[in-house]
Structure 1
């Protein structure tokens, strides 16, 4: 088991794996669609020196229980609240990557900003799908998203194909070594395809524009977006969550590829937030 690894029971028969290391103000890290605590190893290594760092495998991800129910972001938001309560966390900085942002916005929908000191949303629109894809910040045109859902969530082979193409085309800007790509793919395949499909649909049909506005108006909020859609993302956030600070960095997995710069941005944000109190 990873250093600091433990399990939190969120309901009968369902446990959430967390890595809990370090001491100080708590930072909770939430990975994206089908990914695990392992993607944040560079943030865990860095921030555990100054903070208590908790990284979560969401339900049906990684080491957490694989269940036939609750594979949606409403339930993931509930699970997050139960983990925060079980670990006795107060004044938390929540950091979510990709669909992990949906878990955070769902937490806001259910609980407001209670117990949250600040938010960091990493590279996801609060409304991932729209018919107006040329103007809105979305994951892609409706027809492309529908095709991806119907083709790539059929079985493990298709899921592997999807993650491989997404990793090399969107997530990482440099050429990946074979072992790096295999590691990324293996992360995703820990979630079975039939569950990945549920999560894909739940995420794509989400609309958290109201919660994004509430979050940014209630506590310090930082949004970090990838370079490939930076201008569209900045315009969208200015319209829907204008109080959020926005930074641009790398590709979709910038916190891993450009970890030093990402950690610097997060450190600066946390320091500014602490100084402002």
Structure 2
């Protein structure tokens, strides 16, 4: 994607979000996960912009958007999304959230309802990321592990870098990455300062959007795509929380980057079936 395709949208005084808006047709809006940027969706933009209007957002304090010392939570990210959709006059959209980007969509639903949504796609995120009952619920990990990530790693730049490097190689992708690939992915995350990354991490982990997940699947066509490593427990949890959601399994947490053709075909198939 070229920088020329981007623009900045002011969501409040002094805070601008970087947005790429390419192609024409029915809109598809992609929202990246925790500390990541528009750039991870390059293969999706290249593919879907041939047939659709494709919008990709750097949330506040991510990528090229303003680094803000306030509003680094998903309540604010939900209202930021609403402002972007309003400014761009987006109607009848398919929203695609990856990881904590799903929280942004569920928060938007909490605040604004289902207005202007045609369909929803949630990529590899539980609507309740943290639970003490991790043996049965679809969660990001046991409470002690999540606490360690916050207190031992996300307290300084070195820890942030080590945490993202480990998560990228162990969870996000399934193949061995080249040094350049790994460095590029880690650098995407490091564009968000560690102290903001820590705030976003805790805000996300303590979220509970089970009600919004159910409302979404009951209201519009909804697709949930999850990584292979937790597919069984994620499927059972999804069927309980949002039973009308279509369910697919692919790769690791960053499946759309590692397996773009397979991922894009899953979305194409879903969009064809909803018409």
Could you say which TM-score interval applies, normalised by the shorter chain? Answer: over 0.9
In structure 2, what is the Cα distance between the partners aligned to 1:236 and 1:23?
36
3-state SS of the aligned residue for 1:166? Answer: helix
In structure 2, what is the Cα distance between the partners aligned to 1:15 and 1:3?
17
Tell me, yes or no, if structure 1 residue 142 matches structure 2 residue 143: yes
Q: CA deviation at 1:156?
A: 1.3
Q: How does 1:46-195 map to 2 (within 5 A)?
A: 46-195=47-196
The answer to whether the 8 Å contact 1:26/1:52 transfers is yes
Deviating beyond 3 angstroms after TM superposition, the runs of 4 or more aligned structure 1 residues are none
Tell me, yes or no, if structure 1 residue 220 matches structure 2 residue 221: yes
The answer to whether the 8 Å contact 1:216/1:242 transfers is yes
Q: CA deviation at 1:3?
A: 3.8
Aligned to 2:14: 13
In structure 2, what is the Cα distance between the partners aligned to 1:48 and 1:164?
31
3-state SS of the aligned residue for 1:242? Answer: coil
What TM-score comes out, normalization by structure 1 length?
0.98
The answer to whether the 8 Å contact 1:3/1:21 transfers is no
Q: CA deviation at 1:215?
A: 0.3
3-state SS of the aligned residue for 1:160? Answer: helix
In structure 2, what is the Cα distance between the partners aligned to 1:155 and 1:260?
37
Gaps of 5+ in 1: none
- Could you give the per-residue CA deviations for residues 118-159 of structure 1, whole angstroms, max 9, x where no partner exists? 000000000000000000000000000000100111111111
The answer to whether the 8 Å contact 1:37/1:55 transfers is yes
In structure 1, what is the Cα distance between the partners aligned to 2:258 and 2:103?
22
Tell me, yes or no, if structure 1 residue 232 matches structure 2 residue 236: no
3-state SS of the aligned residue for 1:71? Answer: coil
Q: CA deviation at 1:228?
A: 0.3
In structure 1, what is the Cα distance between the partners aligned to 2:92 and 2:120?
11
In structure 2, what is the Cα distance between the partners aligned to 1:8 and 1:152?
32
In structure 2, what is the Cα distance between the partners aligned to 1:265 and 1:3?
29
The answer to whether the 8 Å contact 1:126/1:206 transfers is yes
Gaps of 5+ in 2: none
In structure 1, what is the Cα distance between the partners aligned to 2:184 and 2:114?
35
3-state SS of the aligned residue for 1:188? Answer: helix
What TM-score comes out, normalization by structure 2 length?
0.99
Q: CA deviation at 1:232?
A: 0.1
